Amino acid sequence: MRAVKERLTVTVDPHLVEAGNQAVSAGRVESLSAWVNQALAEHAAKERRLAALADAIASYEAAFGVMTPEEIAAQARADRASARVVRGAGRSPSARRRRARP
């Protein structure tokens, strides 16, 4: 059984309408409405994740105090140091493109 949908009238930038129409033409989505629905669902999910992150930070800071810029920078350094390279040998995508050109 399909979920009941609501009809909606919106104003959209022309380049976004074109992007949706290209997705339909390429067969990546069944209709422009489906493309817009997917975009709205993805945006709503992002908003929920950001709200959850804000709640987590607020809870942490309520328990341990406000994070300082120094603590944030130290964590960023630790994250970079423990990151695992999965593409290339640490070169940026633009450096790889420059090297690949004849």
| pTM of structure | 0.67
**How many CA atoms are closer than 13 Å to the CA of 61, on its beta-carbon side?**
11
Whether 62 is in a domain gets the answer yes
pLDDT in tens, 41-97: 999 999 999 999 999 999 999 999 999 999 999 999 999 999 998 887 666 666 656
Whether 8 is in a domain gets the answer no
| Separation CA 5–CA 41 (nearest Å) | 13
| Separation CA 4–CA 8 (nearest Å) | 13
Whether 3 is in a domain gets the answer no
In the block, which residue shows the tokens 């810029």? 69
Domain count of the fold of the chain: 1
Q: What stretch of H or E contains 31?
A: none
pLDDT in tens, 19-33: 999 999 999 999 999
Can you give the pLDDT at residue 78?
97
